[in-house]
Structure 1
Amino acid sequence: MFLSPSIRITLCFVGIALLCLFAADLAVTTINPWEDLANLFLGIVTPDFFSLEGIGTALLRTLAFAFTGVALGSAAGFLLALAFRWRIVRVFCAFIRAIHELFWALIFLQFFGFHPLTGVLAIAIPYAGIFAKVYSEILDEVDPTPERVLPTGLNTLSAFLYARIPDALPHLITYTSYRLECGLRSSAVLGFVGLPTLGYYLESSFAQGFYSEVGALLLMFYVLIATLRLWARPKLIPFYVVAAPFFLGDGLPIVWGNVVRFFTEDIVPSPIRDDEGLAGLWTWFSDLALNEALPGIWNTLVLTQIALVLTGIVTLLAFPLISQHFGGPVRRTFGHVLLVIGRSTPEYMLAYILLQLWGPSMLPAVVALALHNGGIIGHLIGRRSNEIALRPDAPHGINRYTYELVPRLYSPFLAFLFYRWEIIMRETAILGILGIYTLGFYVDSAIQNIQFDRAIVLILVTALLNILVDMISRRVRAGLKLKVHHTCEGH
Structure 2
Amino acid sequence: MSQTSKSKPTTLPKRPSVFNWRTFWGLLFLASFVWSLHSAGVFEADLINEGGWNLVWRFLVAAVHPDFSPEFLQLTLDATLKTLAYAICGTFFSVLIGLVAGILSSEIWWESVLKTQKTKLITQSPWLVVRGVLAIPRAIHELIWGLFFVNIFGLDPLVAVLAIAIPFGAITAKVFSEILDETPRQPLMALLNSGVPPLNAFIYSLIPQAFLNLLSYAFYRFECSIRSAAVLGIIGAGGLGYQIFLSLQSLRYEQMWTFLIALILLTGATDFWSAMLRRRLGAPSRLDLNVLNLSRRKKPLYQNDPVVKVSFLGTVVLVIFSFWYVQADYSKLYSPRTFQLLAGVFQDALPPDFSQLSQLFELSAKTLAMSILAMAGAGLGGILLSFPAANNFLLSGGIGDLRGNVVLFFTRFLLLVARAVPEPIWALIFLFVLFPGILPGAIALSLHNLGILGRLMAEVVENLEQRPITSLKALGATDSQVFLYGILPRTLPRFVAYILYRWEVCIRSTVIVGLVGAGGLGRLLAEQLSSFDYKGLLTTLIVFLVLTFSVDLISASVRRSLR
Q: Which moved more, 1:140-149 or 1:175-184?
A: 140-149
Q: Structure 1 vs Structure 2: percent identity of aligned residues?
A: 30
- Shift in Å at residue 126 of structure 1? 0.2
2:506 matches 1:464: no
Query: Letter of the aligned partner of 1:439 in structure 2?
Result: L
The 5-angstrom pairing of residues 282-321 of structure 1 reads: 284-286=353-355, 288-291=356-359, 293-321=360-388
C-alpha distance 270-220 of structure 1, shift in aligned 2 (>3 A): closer
Q: Describe the SS at the equivalent of 1:22.
A: helix
Counterpart pick for 1:265 among 344, 350, 372: 344
Match in the other structure for 1:243: 321
Residue 394 of structure 1 aligns with which residue? 477
CA distance in 2, matches of 1:395, 1:32: 50
- Given that 1:95 and 1:467 are in contact with CA atoms closer than 8 Å, whether structure 2 keeps it comes out as no
Distance 1:247 1:271 in 2: 38
13, 16, 31: which one pairs with 1:15? 31
Using the TM superposition, give the Cα deviation of residue 305 of structure 1 relative to its aligned residue in structure 2, in angstroms.
Answer: 1.6
| Cα distance between partner residues in 2 of 1:218 and 1:321 | 25
Tell me the equivalent position of 2:116.
Answer: none
2:145 is aligned to 104
Between the aligned partners of 1:70 and 1:14, the Cα distance in structure 2 is 38
Question: Residues 262 and 394 (structure 1 numbering): CA distance in 2 closer, same or farther, change over 3 Å?
Answer: farther
Structure with the larger RCO, 1 or 2 (CA within 8 Å, 6+ apart)? 1
Cα deviation digits, residues 323-374 of structure 1 (max 9, x gap):
4444422211211111222233332332233334544232221112222222
Matching of residue 38 in structure 1 with residue 57 in structure 2: yes
* Partner of residue 123, structure 1: 164
Measure, in 2, the Cα distance between the counterparts of 1:251 and 1:125.
Answer: 17
Q: Which moved more, 1:375-384 or 1:107-116?
A: 375-384
Structure 2 CA distance for partners of 1:263 and 1:149, relative to 1, 3 Å: closer
CA separation in 2, counterparts of 1:237 and 1:259?
32
1:138 alignment partner, SS class:
helix
1:453 matched to 2:535? The reply is yes
Task: Summarize the alignment of residues 137-156 of structure 1 with structure 2, pairs less than 5 Å apart.
Answer: 137-147=178-188, 150=191, 152-156=194-198
Residue 89 of structure 1 aligns to which amino acid in structure 2? V
Cα 1:352–1:418, aligned 2, differ >3 Å: closer, same or farther?
same
Amino acid in structure 2 at the alignment position of 1:395: T
Q: 1:262 and 1:457, CA in 2 relative to 1: closer, same or farther beyond 3 A?
A: farther
| Alpha-carbon separation, structure 2, partners of 1:270 and 1:67 | 33
Task: Output the CA distance in 2 between the equivalents of 1:471 and 1:271.
Answer: 28
Q: 1:168 aligns with which of 210, 216, 234?
A: 210
Supply the distance in 1 between the matched residues of 2:362 and 2:369 (Cα, whole angstroms). 11
Contact 1:95 1:464 in 2 (8 A): no
State the Cα deviation string for residues 154-195 of structure 1 (Å, max 9, x = none). 332322221122222222222112211111111111111111
Instruction: Provide the C-alpha distance between the structure 1 equivalents of 2:477 and 2:407, rounded to a whole number of angstroms.
Output: 21
Residues 285 and 319 of structure 1, relative CA distance in 2, 3 Å threshold:
same
271 and 121 in structure 1: CA distance in 2 versus 1, 3 angstrom threshold: closer
Distance 2:40 2:222 in 1: 35
Once residues 179 and 388 of structure 2 are traced to their aligned partners in structure 1, the CA distance between those partners, rounded to angstroms, is 31
Of 524, 539, 543, the match for 1:442: 524
1:55 aligned residue (63, 76, 81)? 76
Q: Find the counterpart in structure 1 of residue 102 from structure 2.
A: 81
Q: Structure 1: how far apart are the matches of 2:559 and 2:59?
A: 40
Instruction: Quickly say closer, same or farther: Cα 1:211–1:260, change in 2 above 3 A.
Output: same
Report the CA distance shift for 1:443/1:65 in structure 2 as closer, same or farther (over 3 A).
Answer: same
**2:176 aligned with 1:135:** yes
| Alignment equivalent of 2:268, drawn from 219, 226, 231 | 226
Q: CA deviation at 1:438?
A: 0.8
Query: What is residue 295 of structure 2 aligned with on the other side?
Result: none
- Residue in 1 aligned with 2:280? none
Counterpart in the other structure of 1:489: none
1:363 aligns with 2:384: no
| Conserved? CA contact 2:354–2:539, under 8 Å | no
CA distance, structure 1, for counterparts of residue 240 and residue 344 of structure 2: 34
Cα distance in 2, alignment partners of residues 267 and 357 from structure 1: 41
Counterpart AA for 1:13: F
Out of 131, 154, 174, which is 1:90 matched to?
131
- Cα pair distance change 1:294/1:362, threshold 3 Å: same
Alpha carbons of structure 1 residues 254 and 199: separation in structure 2 relative to 1, 3 Å: same
Aligned-residue RMSD, C-alpha: 2.7
Scaled by the length of structure 2, what TM-score is found? 0.77
Shift of 1:400: 5.8
Q: 1:14 to 1:308 in 2, by over 3 A?
A: farther
Query: Which whole-Å CA distance do the structure 2 matches of 1:433 and 1:258 have between them?
Result: 29
What SS does the aligned partner of 2:441 have? helix
The residue type paired with residue 289 of structure 1 is: L
TM-superposed CA distance for 1:377, in Å, is 2.1
Moved more, 174-183 or 164-173: 164-173
Amino acid at match of 1:421: W
Tell me if structure 2 keeps the 8 A contact 1:138–1:168. Answer: yes
CA distance in 1 between counterparts of 2:331 and 2:49 reads 43
Higher gyration radius (CA): 2
3-state SS of 1:408 partner: helix
- Matched to 1:30, the amino acid is N
